[in-house]
Structure 1
């Protein structure tokens, strides 16, 4: 907890320093003064607000390294003040360039104890003469009150503004600038098996008998709906804030030995949590003396109480649109009218057919708020899995709990960022044109800057809370349950890594080694800035914002340690500076940071706008605009207002090109060509804006396809769909659904289609009644629908890791498509099956936090613009996705299911997701020759293969054959394929791999991959694809178990291969 009454030491430092260096105070919206244009502004060497590193003495003479996490309160009689010359340092030794053996930072290595209570004269950090002459030293004894109005005395000595380390406490005598590489695939949950069944029953003749399609299905009506269910929903609708101001607390005399010619008294209003809320100049007292003077300052304090008014609402759970939204302010430039994109799907529990079970094989580690649904596929997942010490890729930074590792032997949070030039590339594939590298990767384990505390050690605990779609709060404590804590709000795209210190001694460390640290003035009163140069030549910025008035007064202890004051409260922000000319961009944003992300949006006709906005924290958040990093696909879709806030500050990302800093508390993004006309039939995006014109099959094509469809519809659907895998079963259900649709709507075979549909409905009922080989369970630990397969077999990889939340969007997207077709052809079927299918939707893609049964957007990452497939498996290279096309398949299934059931929000959301996916896939996964986001010596591969957060590897989990690697980004070939896989891309890929004479020419491919490759060809050459599939003596082995020859021929024909 922050002290209720704390003296603002910032005020006192300014008071006695303002006397030595009088400067004008000015007000206005600008937080900076241009030295070139303003002759009254002080030169850098005259910065009166500069407060560099101190020596500390306090109520107890214990080494700060060994100070307990929770200090005992000072006695009312006041502390015993040690001599002002006392100082504390860890056991440090001079740097030994020729030896890797050196004494470690004692707190980080319990075997090393301090051997001295002060630096010896010959180990004092060097102070360049030029700095000494420009920055004289001033000493002041300052007395202030603690939370219980006891007295504490702090001796502060301002030292030169630039420091070079002369000591090291590192594990080795040289900086660690290389890190480590994971060059092998981490295959947990990804068995090396083909993405479709390889042995299926086949028949050669039609045996299915047609039914009269004029007779209605069953006794239900198409408009039948479940009986209304009422429920009670409690949610916040407003907040209130009350400010209670407390009068004068105490008057504090300050004795100073400096020459004082003027003193400015700055009363500072401090809230109950210690943050500065107001500072004003109330007058200047001129003192003409060179002796000792007393400067008296008066403290006042205020407390702020924030609460939430909750309203309980009883409504029909089906009447979702009537619920009030959480945000009343519309941010969209098009206005918030049209269709709300993020209405909840449902609010009740999963269907009764799905049982509940706790005790998931992977428990959430260190999660403090276990009551609600927990995300399973997000960028921060490594914080709650396994060792908790694998990286989390926030973009553009990565964060890793050091956990006693590295040169600094730190137990803090390590921050890393690698430039584009630091990427490591695998061997070139000489068989592919332009010989692209087989993979690229970014080193992990480079601990450039570490946010830590002197109290951290082997007992340090990492916990988390608020596991949300865009963010998580990460806490480090000296031991579990300690009141002293370092909290980091980790939000995608954040420009600063921010640490909130509560009653800790800040320790900023580096395993790369500090080369130089310079105090760099104050971007705003109360913000202390430091410029850090590491031994790799990279420059980082540190901003310290004290919450209780106690300046950080950092001291450079060694090449790995910059240490602050004990018992400190406040925020420390870290950012990497790629270009000196852009430093002011960070300065303007310091003091504020995002704490959580939000998404909202509306669609109207073919246009959708959505906002990414952020909650803010920080002492200066009320009047400081956030700085957030955008990825390339964001920039491409910004509206005009957001584009106007783009800066020139960019940082490389690990796998998404350059991130660009944007000033704004929210972004507006838009998609202006939503695929609203996309349906079940073959489709081209260039016709999306107008009537499709419904191309008609030629008589010869119609006759050929009708014969083949009758054969395919006679297959044993049950044998192909009731499998031991949700993935394989879903693919088969989807295949037969597309077959039945094609027969009914495109081939004029309504009677035969009805017979096939009845069998398909019976097959789907096995799953909606949860009677498949491995039924689904509702996991009460993480809150989701998982296969029971791993619970039964003990194998985490069975069904591609479904029980561990791997690939849910791949698996359930096929079910959505199958259900959409069935419900379209037989609306009466929806009455009994809608809740089950909606439960699958909610598991993967719940759009609203009002639905407390599932996390919000488990798989789809609205920051990255695509989904992540990896679930509850710790991974050194972060999350990954192998099949970009099956990602799009889920969005397509969502759209079509929403259309079938009349859920306009779901349908519009599916349209937006397809559009966003199309944009992001073409930026990051499907690489044409003009791609600027992936490395130039990698784009020749045409697809990324498996795209991780930290690397791209041109392989698959089940093999490296080029037809697999390219084909996994094709399956399934569906109407959306022409949108996500552009004609330019398909053309370049075909020439590179599949054309006659190419490295993997299509004529030589075997098995189901051959059919996939030729169906893909229909995008650019439908006639060639049609001729391939209709050739005499066609080998049915070229059609994989998840595909239909009827559909492939119809698709090729209607794209232009055989129309009239």
Structure 2
């Protein structure tokens, strides 16, 4: 971000084998058909065009034998290398870092080819902004202006010549750096001039929390001839700007470039940014909770509410836990373990049923230990290539899609977040259980969100993207539209599970990371995924959908991978409805979403939903109308088919009651 890069591999008008660079303006987005059943008829999707090769970093030596390799795959960056053939000592290296203002190519003994499939209109050599920095201003036939800076290691003029409408060629056997940036406004040119000659090579995340306040930083290591006396120019996303500390905010410029799916990015002159989150959800626990009452964690249930809970809890606790939890799916198993954990917690702490809860807890412990003993249907494996814990399902069946692609790292935060939550509840109610299970649960946490580069067995933050402020669900699968995430709520579920597991085992650092991730998620999800009517980051033609559906790096599509029913599309951003839901899903958002989709007479009137999504929708409704939700869940003729396999009626009654729905 904010650029899109693709290895051209002989495609396009330029037939180049270099790295193609594009930047998409909002005006270039393509929109799907209007969903006329939804109020204001929002468009179903929008997508940014692929294959535009505005400028291409390449070399005269590149052709059909060119190979691409990568190294240094880190949390915010990766290095990409192009060589004319395997083993060639002549190489083009590009350090790709989130937020970089320039696309930088480091040339070693190559003849630079700067190509364009959009066609060069004019190329003008400009005065050197700094000694040893050669500058060219390029206008393409689409009218867009780009800047090129060349910094030869030897100091020799790269002597770029416009050979054709698709080729700008430099000197042979050249060594040095070439930087390319898009110029949206001539008045901003000086910012690029000042920053030229330095570029980020990698990024680091750090954070600190105390009580309900936290700071986290993104900082970058630098390369380039001017790295010692130039400050980086980096692009920030909207949720960054909203949380910058005062010093970082003072470095914000007026230079903006659109991103593909995250609104406008804004250039910042700084080698590191500091963001603040001053309302960490430290009082959030296992019980129903509201941010507005975050200082008061007391739960008081009326006798009527307790009776309503007790009326169903014993029956739900007597279900066959093993049959529901020991499945051939880490996802569905985790959901069931978490469901029963929340049920047992509700019975023990909220509904005055300690004896029944103890009996159910013992069965739940036995079910969990099937997994911690790794004797589940598809035991987990440690993968030495990508350094992670994966299901053996695809290894056994040969089907890469088994268990939603867990063997290929799809959805690990979705799957393991449920296990963390279940373990947190069990350990809270029975600390002796932790002795034999703590290492297993910690391993799942490390797989998804190991915070330390000193941990040799797992990468740093596999799923959570500290630049975008949320996780990605895509694993080891290629995708023309980049990474994606479908369930924003299950993203938050992992952070919540991490927080609560840290709290249970007394790991204050883990608990603080979970709190910070929840706060950052609340900010980013409300910026990009959960769209109120005043959202300015997603296109106006799209925000009426209320949720993005599947958010990719290159498109947003108001649908799901498993069906197009509107209760699915909205509901996948609700599940599981848990104590954290009121943090990420604001009352304004829930009210707008309910009116749009689920109110009486609306396009997907909640009374007409007939499956487990009905319970999810009404549990979500408790955020704004707990009385109506409570009345729904306690009705005499309640149909248990309205409860999803990952939820319990016991919890939903308690949730709506504590949020204010039970009669006094």
Same fold (TM over 0.5): yes
1:999 match: 603
| Structure whose CA Rg is larger | 1
Determine if the alignment matches structure 1 residue 855 to structure 2 residue 459. yes
- Displacement after TM superposition at 1:520 (Å): 1.1
1:685 match: 291
After TM superposition, the structure 1 = structure 2 runs for residues 1020-1031 of structure 1, keeping only pairs within 5 Å, are 1020-1031=624-635
Determine if the alignment matches structure 1 residue 606 to structure 2 residue 212. yes
- Residue in structure 2 matching 1:939, options 543, 547, 555: 543
Determine if the alignment matches structure 1 residue 650 to structure 2 residue 289. no
Tell me the alpha carbon deviations over residues 586-608 of structure 1, each in whole angstroms, 9 at most, x when there is no partner: 11100000000001111111100
- Displacement after TM superposition at 1:695 (Å): 3.7
RMSD: 0.6
Contact 1:550 1:568 in 2 (8 A): no
SS at match of 2:478: coil
SS at match of 1:1047: helix
- Residue in structure 1 matching 2:308, options 667, 688, 704: 704
Structure ranking higher in helix proportion: 2
How far apart in 1 are the matches of 2:306 and 2:7? 63
Unaligned runs of 5+ in 2: none
How far apart in 2 are the matches of 1:795 and 1:1050? 41
After TM superposition, the structure 1 = structure 2 runs for residues 264-275 of structure 1, keeping only pairs within 5 Å, are none
- Displacement after TM superposition at 1:765 (Å): 0.4
SS at match of 1:637: coil
Determine if the alignment matches structure 1 residue 517 to structure 2 residue 123. yes
2:495 match: 891
SS at match of 2:206: strand
How far apart in 2 are the matches of 1:781 and 1:611? 29
Determine if the alignment matches structure 1 residue 626 to structure 2 residue 626. no
How far apart in 2 are the matches of 1:1024 and 1:641? 47
Tell me the alpha carbon deviations over residues 642-693 of structure 1, each in whole angstroms, 9 at most, x when there is no partner: 00000000000000000000000000001000000000000000111x223x
Determine if the alignment matches structure 1 residue 904 to structure 2 residue 485. no
Determine if the alignment matches structure 1 residue 950 to structure 2 residue 523. no
How far apart in 2 are the matches of 1:1015 and 1:707? 18
Determine if the alignment matches structure 1 residue 462 to structure 2 residue 68. yes
- Residue in structure 1 matching 2:104, options 490, 493, 498: 498
Determine if the alignment matches structure 1 residue 444 to structure 2 residue 50. yes
1:799 match: 403
SS at match of 1:765: helix
Contact 1:696 1:1059 in 2 (8 A): no
How far apart in 2 are the matches of 1:765 and 1:630? 44
- Displacement after TM superposition at 1:418 (Å): 0.8
Tell me the alpha carbon deviations over residues 143-194 of structure 1, each in whole angstroms, 9 at most, x when there is no partner: xxxxxxxxxxxxxxxxxxxxxxxxxxxxxxxxxxxxxxxxxxxxxxxxxxxx
Tell me the alpha carbon deviations over residues 850-895 of structure 1, each in whole angstroms, 9 at most, x when there is no partner: 0010111000000000000010110000000000000000000000
1:255 match: none
How far apart in 2 are the matches of 1:880 and 1:624? 35
- Displacement after TM superposition at 1:902 (Å): 0.5
- Residue in structure 2 matching 1:842, options 446, 449, 453: 446
After TM superposition, the structure 1 = structure 2 runs for residues 636-1035 of structure 1, keeping only pairs within 5 Å, are 636-688=242-294, 690-692=295-297, 694-1035=298-639
Tell me the alpha carbon deviations over residues 887-924 of structure 1, each in whole angstroms, 9 at most, x when there is no partner: 00000000000000000000000000000000000000
How far apart in 2 are the matches of 1:551 and 1:815? 60
Contact 1:697 1:1059 in 2 (8 A): no
How far apart in 2 are the matches of 1:862 and 1:746? 36
Equivalenced residues, count: 664
How far apart in 2 are the matches of 1:881 and 1:1041? 22
- Displacement after TM superposition at 1:578 (Å): 0.4
How far apart in 1 are the matches of 2:58 and 2:618? 56
How far apart in 2 are the matches of 1:653 and 1:796? 31
2:152 match: 546
SS at match of 2:181: strand
Determine if the alignment matches structure 1 residue 413 to structure 2 residue 19. yes
How far apart in 2 are the matches of 1:696 and 1:890? 27
How high is the TM-score relative to the length of structure 2? 1.00
SS at match of 1:476: strand
- Displacement after TM superposition at 1:1059 (Å): 5.7
How far apart in 1 are the matches of 2:155 and 2:122? 26
1:265 match: none
Structure 1 residues 543 and 896: alpha-carbon distance in aligned structure 2, compared to 1, 3 A threshold: same
How far apart in 1 are the matches of 2:105 and 2:127? 20
How far apart in 2 are the matches of 1:849 and 1:873? 25
- Residue in structure 2 matching 1:1046, options 642, 650, 658: 650
How far apart in 1 are the matches of 2:179 and 2:299? 60
Contact 2:287 2:299 in 1 (8 A): no
Contact 1:884 1:921 in 2 (8 A): yes
